[in-house]
Amino acid sequence: MPKIDNGLAAILRALLPLVLCAAWLVGEPPMTMHAARFAVIVPGPPIGQPAEAAMDGARCADPAGTWLGMRWRTELKWRVNERTIPAYLGDRTAVVNALRSAATTVQTGRNDCGLPANLGISESYAGKTDHVAGVTPSGGCGERDGANSVSFGPLNKGLLAVTCIWWYGGKENGRSVETDILIDDTEGLFFLSTPPACTNRWDLEGTLTHEFGHAFGLGHVAFAQHSALTMTDGLPDCSTAYRGLGLGDYLTLKQQYGTN
Ligand SMILES: [Zn+2]
């Protein structure tokens, strides 16, 4: 399960005026909006795991998956704060392309298992933004600002990236209204393509496939039993094997978004 921060009360207070306004604008009765909560998800680096962890057959044999409870009913339009991209990653366009590829993977259900990549998910990259992700350095969620932002910034050691989700409604049928992703900007933490003699560095695209999985509602599966899946709660270093979806990642999205 995701780590749920205990800052819920503050978020609810901050959201109340927006909730009422949004309810009026879209013509929904205010009472249908019960809560706005967030999931804080941390793919922590496991200790001593081989980079080949995801390469065995389990990736297409393990059907495990968990669901956070909320989902998008409209297109998720997201933006990148390019000014926050750390210089060590090089060309900003290449970085944005890696992020877009990760989002596309979740949108379509692109997988390594020969399953049709045709989920009913809708997202689009909407360009640059000056907004930053509403995520604190300790991995908590800040205030919602109306923009779905991906940015780089400081995160506590052990956190690669954190996704926050704001949603209305109950646990089982929540409606997501905003999601932000903060990626740790520590020098050398990520790579776009595997460097020689790689150690203690992580694949940016695979990490973001995992985070966009959260953005659309996927929860974690335990690394101890499901290390081959993209939604494992620990990502091995130096592996590019998590850029697509594994069987359980795919099936769980399909169950929620697959319409045909
Ligand atoms: Zn995670």
Per-residue model confidence (pLDDT) at position 22: 25
Query: Ligand 1 center to residue 208 CA distance, Å?
Result: 10
Chain segment 140-160, per-residue pLDDT in tens: 888 889 999 999 999 988 889
- In angstroms, rounded to a whole number, what is the distance separating the alpha carbons of residues 221 and 57? 17
Gap between the terminal Cα atoms of the chain: 28
Residue 16 clears pLDDT 50, i.e. is over it: no
Residue 49 clears pLDDT 70, i.e. is over it: no
Query: Ligand 1 center to residue 164 CA distance, Å?
Result: 11
Please give the residue that has the higher pLDDT: either 44 or 127. Answer: 127
Segment 17-25 mean pLDDT: 26
Q: What percent of the chain has pLDDT over 90?
A: 56
**Partners of residue 3 on adjacent β-strands:** 40
- In angstroms, rounded to a whole number, what is the distance separating the alpha carbons of residues 15 and 141? 13
Query: Ligand 1 center to residue 196 CA distance, Å?
Result: 26
3-state secondary structure 196-229: CCCCCCEEHHHHHHHHHHHHHCECCECHHHHCCC
Query: Ligand 1 center to residue 28 CA distance, Å?
Result: 32
With bands split at pLDDT 50, 70 and 90, how would you rate the model's confidence at 138? Answer: confident
Neighbours of ion ligand 1 (CB under 5 A): 41, 43
Query: Ligand 1 center to residue 76 CA distance, Å?
Result: 19
Domains and CATH numbers, the chain: 8-257 (3.40.390.10)
Chain segment 214-256, per-residue pLDDT in tens: 999 999 998 889 999 999 988 888 999 999 999 999 999 999 9
Query: Ligand 1 center to residue 190 CA distance, Å?
Result: 16
Query: Ligand 1 center to residue 242 CA distance, Å?
Result: 12
Q: What average pLDDT does the chain have?
A: 81
Query: Ligand 1 center to residue 232 CA distance, Å?
Result: 7
Chain segment 29-38, per-residue pLDDT in tens: 333 332 344 4
- In angstroms, rounded to a whole number, what is the distance separating the alpha carbons of residues 233 and 1? 9
Name the phi and psi angles at 55, rounded to 5.
-90, -10
pTM: 0.82
- Nearest 5°: the CA angle 60, 66, 71 is 115
Query: Ligand 1 center to residue 221 CA distance, Å?
Result: 9
- In angstroms, rounded to a whole number, what is the distance separating the alpha carbons of residues 162 and 221? 16
Residue 53 clears pLDDT 80, i.e. is over it: no
Segment 83-106 mean pLDDT: 98
Buried b (16+ CB within 10 A) or exposed e, 133-144: bbbbeebbbbeb
Query: Ligand 1 center to residue 29 CA distance, Å?
Result: 33
With bands split at pLDDT 50, 70 and 90, how would you rate the model's confidence at 5? Answer: very low
Query: Ligand 1 center to residue 51 CA distance, Å?
Result: 18
Query: Ligand 1 center to residue 68 CA distance, Å?
Result: 11
Query: Ligand 1 center to residue 118 CA distance, Å?
Result: 23
